[in-house]
């Protein structure tokens, strides 16, 4: 904070300029509408394989110019004689929707900044809810199994964030303050900054923060920690460029080290907040610096993990304001989606759709969503501590409707 009590204005990074520029929009709904099914299949083939003329047969792996069957919109392998379509052997195998519809739904979903709910897309398209839901989840599966992988190296930021498990019961059945005369007045602390009498510096602004006394024991059992690892761009002002995430029960030394050793290479330099869970990193990596978040966002030497916080903010917007009620069972999938959305924030929408479809079609058959509409559901949460049986959804045993008044 500056001496006069004002905050320095943050420098613009150019993301807003990018989104308003021509190069941000290279594909539109109007262009996708003009495609017939043949064009859509060939476009998806080019997105997935880089070519619609030469590709590897999904049955035997032979790379060749396979025979194209114009009427069937499929290819026949020159080596094994098996026929295959653009979605054979991928998460979209045995699809019911035509490719042009899949492309347009994926495009609509991908264009959202922090996500787009399946119900909202359903209101635009009108297929059954499971059709939309499983299609979006299969696109997410591509990100879980195709994007949230690999080792990061460079200047890394790491952070944890609380998701789900709000202690709403503590607030239930308390009287709400109503009536004009009873409204709480503006706290004086917000109006008058506290000034240190010796130095004349402003020590605090805003209301006093609640004491974090015994926070862990009061936490809701459904609370999860989203652990975020992000690598900074080498270019100044470039922000974060690549992310790995994991969901944990707690942000402990064990869980953060597990994620770090599986996703960060040892020659990296790591920035975190002052949480003692990260103390081990000094001996594990080339460097480790911390910023004391209770006092500042950026340490005097420039240490900060604001890129990791940036993803936290997008994740919060996504689960609390767009998707609403994301269950812990699928939290990992939604977090991967937001990591991808944030990493590709300065990519044109045409390239983004290409990237999304390439990832979705590169991970093989769906392991999470095949047979979903026939009752085959994921039974566990994907946690860094290991799989945990998921909480059943629906009404509690013994639930009864509220009696009529
Ligand atoms: Zn073949």
Question: Ligand 1 centre and the CA of 87: distance in Å?
Answer: 15
Res 186 pLDDT > 60: no
Say what the pLDDT of residue 196 is.
Answer: 78
Please check whether residues 66 and 159 belong to one and the same domain. Answer: no
Pairing of the two strands 224-232 and 155-163: antiparallel
Q: Which of 333, 358, 390 is the last residue of a domain?
A: 333
What's the whole-number mean pLDDT along residues 319-331? Answer: 93
Res 367 pLDDT > 80: yes
Q: Which of 333, 354, 386 is the last residue of a domain?
A: 333
pTM: 0.86
Residue 241 lies in a domain: yes
Res 382 pLDDT > 60: yes
Say what the pLDDT of residue 145 is.
Answer: 96
What residues make up the domain containing 269? 155-163+220-333
Which tops the pLDDT comparison, 342 or 184?
A: 342
Please check whether residues 159 and 70 belong to one and the same domain. Answer: no
Question: Ligand 1 centre and the CA of 289: distance in Å?
Answer: 53
Instruction: Report pLDDT digits (tens) over 233-266.
Output: 998 878 899 999 999 999 999 999 999 999 999 9
Residue 280 lies in a domain: yes
What's the whole-number mean pLDDT along residues 220-230? Answer: 93
Res 183 pLDDT > 60: no
Q: Cα–Cα distance between 288 and 282 in angstroms, integer?
A: 5
pLDDT-derived band at 55, boundaries 50, 70, 90: very high
Please check whether residues 74 and 159 belong to one and the same domain. Answer: no
Question: Ligand 1 centre and the CA of 66: distance in Å?
Answer: 9
Number of domains in the chain: 2
Question: Ligand 1 centre and the CA of 93: distance in Å?
Answer: 17
Residue 238 lies in a domain: yes
Q: Which of 301, 333, 365 is the last residue of a domain?
A: 333
Please check whether residues 159 and 278 belong to one and the same domain. Answer: yes
Please check whether residues 225 and 81 belong to one and the same domain. Answer: no
Residue 82 lies in a domain: yes
C-alpha dist (Å) from residue 118 to 132, 325, 366: 6, 13, 19
Question: Ligand 1 centre and the CA of 38: distance in Å?
Answer: 22
Res 181 pLDDT > 80: no
Mean pLDDT of all residues belonging to the chain: 88
Say what the pLDDT of residue 404 is.
Answer: 82
For the chain, what percentages of helix, strand and coil (3-state, to nearest 5) are there? 35, 15, 50
Cβ within 8 Å of residue 296, ≥6 positions away: none
Looking at the chain, the whole-number percentage of residues with pLDDT higher than 90 is 69
Residue identified by tokens 């019911």 is 96
Query: What are 273's two structure tokens?
Result: 């907040």
Query: What are 93's two structure tokens?
Result: 């195998």
Residue 254 lies in a domain: yes
Residue 42 lies in a domain: yes
Question: Ligand 1 centre and the CA of 75: distance in Å?
Answer: 10
Q: Cα–Cα distance between 32 and 108 in angstroms, integer?
A: 11
What's the whole-number mean pLDDT along residues 86-105? Answer: 94
Ion ligand 1 residues within 5 Å by Cβ? 57, 59-60, 62, 77, 79-80
Residue identified by tokens 């495609």 is 35
The partner residues of 55 in beta bridges, in order of sequence, read 64
Residue 291 lies in a domain: yes
Please check whether residues 79 and 159 belong to one and the same domain. Answer: no
What backbone torsions phi and psi does residue 168 show, to the nearest 5 degrees? -65, -25
């Amino acid at each position: 904070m500056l001496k006069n009590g004002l905050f320095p204005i943050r420098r613009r990074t150019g993301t807003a300029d990018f989104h308003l520029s021509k190069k941000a929009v290279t594909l539109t709904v109007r262009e996708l509408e003009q495609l017939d099914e043949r064009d859509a299949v060939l476009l998806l083939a080019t997105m997935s394989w880089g070519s619609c003329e030469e590709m590897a047969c999904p049955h035997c792996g032979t790379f060749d110019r396979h025979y194209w069957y114009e009427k069937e919109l499929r290819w026949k392998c020159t080596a094994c004689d098996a026929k295959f379509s653009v979605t054979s052997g991928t998460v979209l195998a045995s699809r019911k929707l035509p490719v042009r519809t899949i492309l347009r739904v994926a495009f609509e979903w991908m264009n959202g900044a922090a996500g787009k709910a399946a119900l909202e897309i359903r209101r635009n398209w009108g297929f059954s809810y499971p059709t939309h839901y499983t299609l979006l989840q299969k696109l997410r599966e591509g990100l879980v199994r195709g994007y949230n992988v690999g080792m990061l190296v460079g200047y890394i930021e790491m952070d944890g964030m609380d998701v789900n498990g709000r202690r709403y019961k503590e607030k239930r059945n308390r009287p709400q303050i109503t009536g004009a005369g009873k409204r709480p007045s503006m706290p004086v602390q917000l109006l008058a900054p506290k000034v240190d009498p010796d130095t004349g510096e402003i020590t605090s602004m805003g209301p006093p923060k609640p004491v974090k006394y015994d926070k862990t024991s009061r936490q809701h059992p459904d609370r999860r920690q989203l652990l975020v690892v992000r690598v900074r761009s080498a270019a100044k002002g470039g922000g974060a460029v690549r992310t790995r995430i994991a969901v944990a029960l707690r942000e402990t030394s064990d869980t953060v080290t597990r994620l770090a050793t599986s996703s960060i290479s040892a020659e990296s330099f790591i920035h975190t907040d002052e949480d003692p869970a990260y103390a081990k990193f000094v001996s594990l990596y080339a460097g480790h610096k911390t910023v004391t978040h209770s006092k500042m966002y950026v340490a005097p030497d420039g240490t900060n993990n604001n890129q990791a916080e940036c993803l936290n903010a997008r994740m919060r917007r996504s689960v609390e304001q767009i998707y609403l009620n994301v269950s812990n069972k699928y939290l990992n999938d939604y977090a991967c989606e937001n990591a991808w959305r944030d990493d590709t924030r300065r990519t044109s929408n045409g390239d983004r759709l290409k990237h999304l479809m390439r990832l979705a079609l590169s991970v093989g058959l769906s392991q999470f969503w095949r047979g979903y509409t026939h009752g085959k559901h994921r039974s566990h949460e994907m946690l860094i501590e290991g799989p945990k049986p998921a909480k059943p959804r629906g009404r509690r045993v013994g639930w009864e409707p509220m009696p009529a008044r």
